Amino acid sequence: MNTHFDADTLCISAYGAVTPLGSNLDEIHASFINEKSGIREIKKFDHRYFQTHEAGIPVEGNAAISWPKKSPFRNGELFYAGLAAKRLHDRLRLSAYYSVEEIGCIVGIDEPAIDIEQCIGFSEKVPADADKQCLVDAALEHFKIGDFLDLDTTAVLKTIHDIIPFAGLSFAHLGLCSASTQSIGLAMRAIRSGEIKVAICGGVSAKVTPLNLARLEGMGVISTDEHYCGTGRSRPFDRHRSGFVLAEGAGLFVIEKLSSVLARQDKPLAYLLGYGGALCAQHIVMPHQDDLEMQLSMERAIEHAGIDRNTIDFVNTHGTSTLQNDQHEASAIRKVFGEHNPAIVATKSYHGHLIAAAGAMEILGVLVSFQHDLLPKILNCDEPDPQLSDGIALVNEHQHRPLKYALKNSFGMGGGAGSLVLGNPKYL
């Protein structure tokens, strides 16, 4: 092992996932190699009145969640969180190695949204000439305590806790599209500070809903380009990109010190070497005009890792396929790396944008890259935008070569940014 690493090096040691590309790294690898998209028809609700008919939905979610709600699940976030936690627990039983006080849980989630079905049902019970007392009586009759779990940011934590008990530092992080990457950075700091010894972290999102789809179509941020079918609409860095493809799912990771992993004769999946975050709230939606938050998060992550930026083999980009993100991210990468051209990967072209779970999904992709020395091609980048591709090395065909260091980017609306430097245990 390289002397750069010691017993206190933090690493990802286990995962639990439910994603549009499958539930484990082998399935995700097969999707990459076979260029198989996880974008599929929406089965959860009637989509005939939308322009969007396909999304990145896990097979399990398409089968178990429905509108009107006929399933036992109050919301999709709890379904995905529970399933990912069970799969994580099956791979690593933390209670065998840590006390509950030593285990924390920091998870990126979407902002809670009012259940539109509940609101419609309530309004139908209220007469047009209702007075205040009538409104109160109707609300007391209609809403139940369990309904408020849909609006409680701790509901995902409770679901995970029911499967993997923890009593250390824990919170749900509302970081929009960078939430799960930021949750890992926050967990790294909590372990380093001694507040906890191990963390469950990652992201959970279930935003493929009628209300959210209508909202995003109205904002014009998801692709509704009729020239392409659903699997062809996510086109990172392509000149014909027109927006992201909505997706959902969950990815949970165990983060702990290398010494703990080796003590139980286990092997790390990846080293977590550096984290950088930034916020440049110049605009509620668009990135900073000078790519400032993107540049700062990458530079801070590399500085925190203590490695030369020229050693980064590839960047797993945020790569949303929106006009603004791809333009600014490409510009920021050029500023950070100069003449060094790390390979540019954009796996949202396979699975879509999982919002709060996007970074977690893409970190699973980094683990696949490390295990198989694979840089998956960017799907649908048939005509790279010359304004973006100049000076960066887009991966337009699968590449196999040794990969030591990866930089993972996640950027959110409002100017939030998070970047991670990960190392490959095969070579370090």
Question: Which residues form the catalytic set?
Answer: 177, 318, 353
Do the Cβ atoms of 109 and 172 come closer than 8 Å?
yes
Q: Is 395 exposed, middle or buried (0-12, 13-18, 19+ CB in 10 A)?
A: middle
Output the CA angle 363-369-371, nearest 5 degrees. 105
Could you give the CA distance from residue 271 to residue 261 in angstroms, rounded to a whole number? 11
Kindly tell me the sign of the dihedral angle through the C-alpha atoms of 202, 297, 207, 106. positive
3-state secondary structure of 249: strand
- Interior/surface letters 49-76, b for 16+ CB within 10 angstroms, e for the rest: eeebebbbbbeebbebbeeeeeeebbbb
> Beta partners for 411?
417
Q: How far is CA 343 from CA 296, 312, 408, in A?
A: 20, 9, 12
Could you give the CA distance from residue 243 to residue 354 in angstroms, rounded to a whole number? 14
Do the Cβ atoms of 352 and 56 come closer than 8 Å?
yes
